[in-house]
Chain A
Amino acid sequence: MNPAVRAIFAKDMRELLRDRRALFVNLVLPVLLYPLLILFSVQVAQLSLAQPRPPPKIGVLATPQVLTALQAGATLPKPKRSARKQAAALPTDPTPVAQYQVVDLTGSSWHPQAVLASVDGPLTAPTRHNLSEFLRSHDLALAVVALDPVALQPAPLPLHPLPPQTTLVVLQDDGNARAPEIAPQVDAVLIGLRQTTLAHWLSASHLDPRLPEPVVVRHHSLATAAEAVRTQAAPMIPFLVLVLAVTAAMYPAIGLLAGEREAGTLETLLSLPIRRRDLVLGKLLVVLCAALVAVIANLLSLSGTLGLLAGQLAAVGTDSPLAGLVSVGAPALLLCLVLLLPVVVAISAAALALSGFAQSTKEAQTYLTPLILVVVFVAMVAVVPGLQPSLALDLLPIGGTLLALRQALQTPEMPWMHIAITTVVNLAVAAVLVGWTAQLFDTERGRYPGLVRAGWGRFARFRRGQSLPGGPEVLGVYALAVAGMVLGGGWLADAPAVVLTMAPLLLFVLLPAWLHSWLGAYPQAVVLGWRAPSGRDLLVALALLPVALGLSFGLGTLQEGWVDVGALQAAGEPVARLVAQLASAGGLPLQLLCLAVVPAICEETLCRGTLLSGLHKSLGPKWAIALSALLFALLHQSPLRLLPQAALGVLLGWLTLRSRSVWPAALVHAGHNALLVAAEVQGWLK
């Protein structure tokens, strides 16, 4: 090993071991806690076995006739897991029944004397509401309702006409905690009722009751209870190993970088003549060691405790996942550990890198919490029942391995192919993450998080910083915007009006301006003009609104003197169509949004923000206003509107330089456009 890596490893290992409190909380405590927790849960389980709960109450709402049939036909059998819940819907138009009796079906058979209540008079049209009221007032988790006049009497063959079918509706109050528990039992009773009724009919016709059941199915379990439990517990083990490793890696990862930075000892190490990646690698080894030691210690403690408790667990019943863990041997655990090693390496590296970006341990914690969540979430794949390893899942880091491990633990054959593929994937991910983490301190950003180079230096280290972009730079941004408008305009030609009006503005006008300010790390308050204006400037803007309208209309009308009016109307044509389309799509609010608000914000940000500020820096105020106004007018690609737009641009440019914010100009611009739209809608111009 490289001597620097070794020295850092030894130093940090020593520091980790000296931090008694951390050692206790992260290693000793969990190791002691497991036995205690397991003891506790075993005690709780035994306690719950010792005090049987009173059986839940079941109600029957039926005529006495049906009740008798039920009593004759069925006794509550022992619950079977396999019994399925059957969906039953309330008939929309039930026949009223003369009298219902409510019977408590508590216990294993239907006691006729357990009549709880009689509903006097016909219970017509039972609704969802009055039935649930009824169930709750009698504290019933479930009720069986016979809605038809029922005929369950034996009928001789030939069954022609068929005896009327009986509809029984099972009402289940899922708001009652015990409903899911007794639903299968009641189903079983009703199936029994069906069978006995059928048997009655058959024997009344002198037929063998076995007639409808030519095939009899019986289930036998071949696995021992322990084997079954082991299969159930298998997905838990890799999951447990992973979660233990991740949580164990977190503390050292936070302490070794963010902690060292917080304590102010990191800069010393960074100023030393060692390769900075050796520093990170040494620390990574410590994190890894800590994670592995914690996992091994925890697993030993866990399996030791479970072994000791094996006798007691047998008393609780073998179908608890805890008992299953006992039956998983050491080789299986070792397999988990080995296969998950690359995963733990990758996670440790990621955790260390995140910790390195943080300026304090607290910040590191906020970065690492999502990492833990992501890992646990992906690991959940291994607990999804029935999911089989597949080529696609193998490519999922963490999840694929856990699935392959689950299969390895559940079945006698090893899924070698899947193990190999997921291991390759994990190794690749680990290599990438370790490589990425190792170069953490090679960059200035890594050494001093929070440090941002100015200007384009964010991307290129050679550029001398300039505080604000100059004319050529912002003209480049403008050229980009125009190119986007021209190229994208054709591309969007068939789009609906909303897209056609807003997309080019947002994508080709606002986005380039914003991206430029972001990439250049320029202050947006200055470069985009996104700065809160004073109240006075807003008042000035309001006062200028009539002036802007006058300029725009006046010059527009003046132009009519020397321009062909037919062409003018033809040019107005697409605009009118857009206005109409927007009106049908969303009315006036949408028209104002698409034609006034969004254009004002986007165009002002580019023309009065980026362009004007850059030109101002290079050319001074007068030329900047003139040029930016011209470019603003050209942006609209409409020769007819060129003059009015340019005049408007001069006004808005002056307003922006005065207020040092684009918002007053945007206000005038939006107001101007809104009034134009209103004029178009109302036909004022005609």
Chain B
Amino acid sequence: MLHIAGLHKSFFDPGRGEVKAVDGIELQVPPGVVAVMGANGAGKTTLLRLIAGLLEPDSGTIAVAGLDSVRDGDRFRAQLGYLSTSTKLPALATPREFLALIGQLHGLHPAAVAQRLEALVPQFGLADILDQRIATLSTGQAQRVNLARTLLADPPLLILDEPTTGLDVLAAAEVVTAVQRCRDQGRLILYCTHVPAEAQAVADQLLLIGRGQVAYAGTIADLADGGDFAPAVHAILRPAVAS
């Protein structure tokens, strides 16, 4: 599904010099839900932006369903839905207009969009808010619309970078439930979060990132060993943070 080989990405920061945000990542990820965790500044967002085709690797390749992130440009991006803390919704539009626009930009026929909405509206509880200005929605409602947006074209890869940041407990739970519902045969969801409980709720696989490198890739169950997996995560990440 997702193939990452020899991925490197550095930034230049005037204060710190070179920052190796992603430093040699190799991954083969089959469909499923993968929780991505790591300390602040570990390189998660950089990795996810690279996978979303928003950043370009310094070296290495990223392929989804046989398409290359740099070479195949928009055809590659057609394979994914991307949500992050900087993908907000236009305040002056309504969810219906916004989703119609996204459909149009995905090259979907309006009829296809309508058909897709029939499935998504009940799944994300959007029926009441579809014609309200987005500015008037609560953060949780807006995030559900945003999630529906990523799924509109039914992409095989879903990249969710901290989808519950800024949400209250209830709204976060709603988003988690919504993500749980869009687990699908053949779809890969990369779910980045700082909350272990959320990771455990949505994902079965875990990808731990420390200083731009893979610190752990495997099942949550193996780490948790029947109980809470947070201590194991801390144990893995602490040396990376300390050094």
Q: A462 and B74: CB pair below 8 A?
A: no
- Please give me the residue from chain A that is nearest to B77 by CB atom: A273
Q: Does A181 contact B (CB under 8 A)?
A: no
Contact with A along B192-204 (1 / 0, CB 8 A): 0000000000000
Is there contact, CB below 8 Å, between A18 and B54?
Answer: no
Tell me if B10 and A465 are in contact (CB < 8 A).
yes
What A residues does B86 contact at CB under 8 A?
A: 264, 266-267
Cβ of B131 < 8 Å from any Cβ of A? no
The answer for the CA separation of A447 and B73 in the assembled complex, in Å, is 14
Which residues of B, 42-95, contact A by the 8 Å Cβ criterion?
52-56, 58-59, 73-78, 80, 82, 84-93
Name B11's contact: one of A263, A273, A454 (CB within 8 Å).
Answer: A454
Residues of A in contact (CB 8 Å), total 44
- CB neighbours (8 Å) of B92 from chain A are 15, 18-19
Interface check B128, CB cutoff 8 A: no
0/1 per residue, B12-44, Cβ < 8 Å to A? 111011111000000000000000000000000
Q: Are B105 and A464 in contact (CB under 8 A)?
A: no
Closest chain A residue, CB of each to CB of B134: A265
Given A444-B55, A457-B58, A465-B8, A265 contacting B17 (CB threshold 8 A) = no
B residues less than 8 Å from A461 (CB atoms)? 56, 58
- Complex CA distance for A469 and B93, rounded to whole angstroms: 51
Q: Say yes or no: A7-B90 contact (C-beta < 8 A), given A454-B10, A461-B58.
A: no
Q: What CA separation (Å) do A468 and B149 show in the bound complex? A: 43
Complex Cα–Cα for A266 and B88 (A): 8
- Is A271 engaged at the interface, CB distance under 8 Å to the other chain? yes
What CA separation (Å) do A455 and B18 show in the bound complex? 8
Contacts of A7 in B (CB 8 A): 101, 104-105
Any A CB within 8 A of the CB of B107: yes
Query: From residue B146, how far is it (CB to closest CB) to chain A in Å?
Result: 8
Interface presence of B238 (CB below 8 A): no
Q: For the complex, what is the distance from the CA of A202 to the CA of B149, rounded to whole Å?
A: 102
B11 touches A452 (CB 8 A): yes
Q: Which B89-111 residues have C-beta < 8 A from chain A? A: 89-93, 97, 101-102, 104-107
Q: Let me know if A274 is at the binding interface, CB within 8 A.
A: yes
What residues of B have a CB within 8 angstroms of the CB of A11 in the complex? 90, 93, 101
Residues of A within 8 A of B106 (CB): 272-273
Interface string of A405-448 (1 = CB under 8 A from B): 00000000000000000000000000000000000000010011
Q: Are A275 and B55 in contact (CB under 8 A)?
A: no
B54 and A447: CB pair below 8 A? yes
Neighbouring A residues of B149 by C-beta, 8 Å: 268
User: Could you tell me the distance in whole angstroms from the C-beta of B27 to the nearest C-beta in chain A?
Assistant: 18
Q: Is A535 an interface residue (CB 8 A)?
A: no
Q: How far is the CA of A444 from the CA of B11 in the complex (A)?
A: 12
Residues of B contacting A522 in the complex (Cβ-Cβ under 8 angstroms): 17-18
Contact of A455 among B10, B54, B84, B105 (CB under 8 A): B10
> How far does the alpha carbon of A270 sit from the alpha carbon of B54 in the complex, in Å?
7
CB-based nearest A residue for B20: A465
CB B106 to nearest CB in A, in angstroms, measures 6
Whether A265 lies near B88 (C-beta < 8 A) is yes
- Pick from A263, A458, A464: contact of B59, CB below 8 A: A464
Kindly state whether residue A194 has any CB partner on chain B within 8 Å.
Answer: no
Give every chain A residue within 8 A of B87 (Cβ-Cβ): 264-265, 267-268, 271
Contact of B17 among A268, A271, A464, A467 (CB under 8 A): A467
A493 to B236, CA, bound (A): 65
Determine if A275 and B8 form an interchain contact, defined as CB atoms under 8 angstroms apart: no
Q: How far is the CA of A466 from the CA of B10 in the complex (A)?
A: 9
Q: Closest A residue to B79 by CB, please name it.
A: A273
A282 to chain B, nearest CB (A): 10
Most chain A C-beta atoms within 10 Å of own C-beta, residue among B8, B80, B91, B92 = B92
Instruction: Kindly state whether residue A526 has any CB partner on chain B within 8 Å.
Output: yes
A275–B88 alpha-carbon span in the complex (Å): 20
Contacts of A451 in B (CB 8 A): 11
Chain A residues whose C-beta falls within 8 Å of the C-beta of B53 in the assembled complex: 271
Q: List chain B residues, Cβ under 8 A from A465.
A: 8, 10, 18, 20, 58
Chain B residues whose CB sits within 8 angstroms of the CB of A271 once the complex forms: 52-54, 77, 80, 82, 87
Is there an interface contact between A265 and B59, defined as CB atoms closer than 8 Å? no
Give a binary string over A271-311; 1 marks a CB under 8 Å from any B CB, 0 the rest.
Answer: 11111000000000000000000000000000000000000
Q: For residue B88, which residues in chain A have a CB less than 8 angstroms away from its CB? A: 263-265, 268
Hey, which chain B residues are within 8 Å of A453, CB to CB? 10-12, 58
Measured between beta carbons, the chain B residues less than 8 angstroms from A15 are 90, 92-93
Q: Mark A461-478, 1 if CB is under 8 A from B, else 0.
A: 111111110000000000
B105 touches A272 (CB 8 A): yes
| Residues of B close to A19: CB separation below 8 A | 92
A461 to B60, CA, bound (A): 11
- Kindly state the separation between the CA atoms of A275 and B76 in the bound complex, as whole angstroms: 11
CA distance A453 to B56 in the complex (A): 10
Collect the chain A residues with CB atoms within 8 Å of residue B14's CB. 523
Q: Which chain B residues border A264 with CB–CB below 8 Å? A: 85-88
Complex Cα–Cα for A147 and B141 (A): 93
Residues of A within 8 A of B153 (CB): 273
- Contact A452:B54 (CB < 8 A) given known A267-B84, A272-B77: no
CB-CB under 8 A for A452 and B90, given A444-B55, A465-B18:
no
Q: Which residues of chain A are within 8 angstroms of B54 by Cβ–Cβ distance?
A: 267, 270-271, 447-448
Please name all residues of chain A whose beta carbon is closer than 8 Å to the beta carbon of B20 when the two chains form the complex.
454, 465, 467
A211–B35 alpha-carbon span in the complex (Å): 110
A521 an interface residue at 8 Å Cβ cutoff? Answer: yes
Chain B, Cβ-Cβ closest to A261: B86
Interface string of A338-352 (1 = CB under 8 A from B): 000000000000000
| Chain B residues near A468 (CB-CB < 8 A) | 17-18
Which B residues lie within 8 Å of A523 (CB)?
A: 14, 16-18
**What are the residues of chain A within 8 A of B90 when measuring CB–CB?**
11, 15, 263, 265
In the bound complex, do residue A448 and residue B55 qualify as a contact, i.e. CB atoms below 8 Å apart?
yes
CB under 8 Å from chain A, chain B span 139-195: 149, 153
Residues of A within 8 A of B105 (CB): 4, 7-8, 269, 272-274
State in angstroms the CA–CA spacing of A221 and B54 once bound together. Answer: 69
Partner of B107, one of A3, A270, A448, A452: A3
A14 within 8 Å of B (CB atoms): yes
Residues of B within 8 A of A466 (CB): 18
Q: A271-B87, A273-B75 are in contact. Are A467 and B18 (CB under 8 A)?
A: yes
Cα A265 to Cα B105 in complex, Å, equals 15
Complex CA–CA separation, A447 to B87 (angstroms): 13
Residues in A with CB closer than 8 Å to B84 are: 267
Give complex CA distance A455, B104 in Å: 40
Q: Could you tell me the distance in whole angstroms from the C-beta of A126 to the nearest C-beta in chain B?
A: 67
A355 → chain B closest CB, angstroms: 17
| Minimal beta-carbon separation of A72 from chain B (angstroms) | 82
Complex contact B77–A464 (CB within 8 A): no
In the bound assembly, the distance between CA atoms of A3 and B105 in angstroms comes to 8
Contact A462 B59 (CB under 8 A): yes
Q: A264-B87, A272-B106 are in contact. Are A454 and B74 (CB under 8 A)?
A: no
How many angstroms from the CA of A14 to the CA of B86 in the assembled complex? 22
Is there contact, CB below 8 Å, between A273 and B18?
no
Q: What residues on A are CB-neighbors of B97 within 8 Å?
A: 14
A444 to B13, CA, bound (A): 16
Starting from the known contacts A270-B54, A273-B153, 12 additional A-B residue pairs (CB-CB under 8 Å) come to A264-B86, A265-B88, A268-B88, A273-B78, A274-B105, A447-B55, A452-B13, A454-B11, A454-B20, A463-B58, A464-B59, A521-B18
List 22 interface pairs A-B (beta carbons < 8 Å), by A numbering.
Answer: A3-B104, A14-B93, A15-B92, A19-B92, A263-B88, A263-B90, A265-B88, A265-B90, A267-B87, A271-B77, A273-B77, A273-B105, A274-B105, A448-B54, A454-B17, A457-B58, A462-B59, A465-B10, A465-B20, A467-B18, A467-B20, A468-B17
Instruction: Give me the 10 closest cross-chain CB pairs, A-B, nearest first.
Output: A465-B10, A273-B78, A523-B17, A264-B88, A454-B10, A271-B82, A454-B18, A452-B12, A268-B87, A273-B77
| Residue positions of A touching B, CB distance < 8 A | 3-4, 7-8, 11, 14-15, 18-19, 263-275, 444, 447-448, 451-455, 457-458, 461-468, 521-523, 526
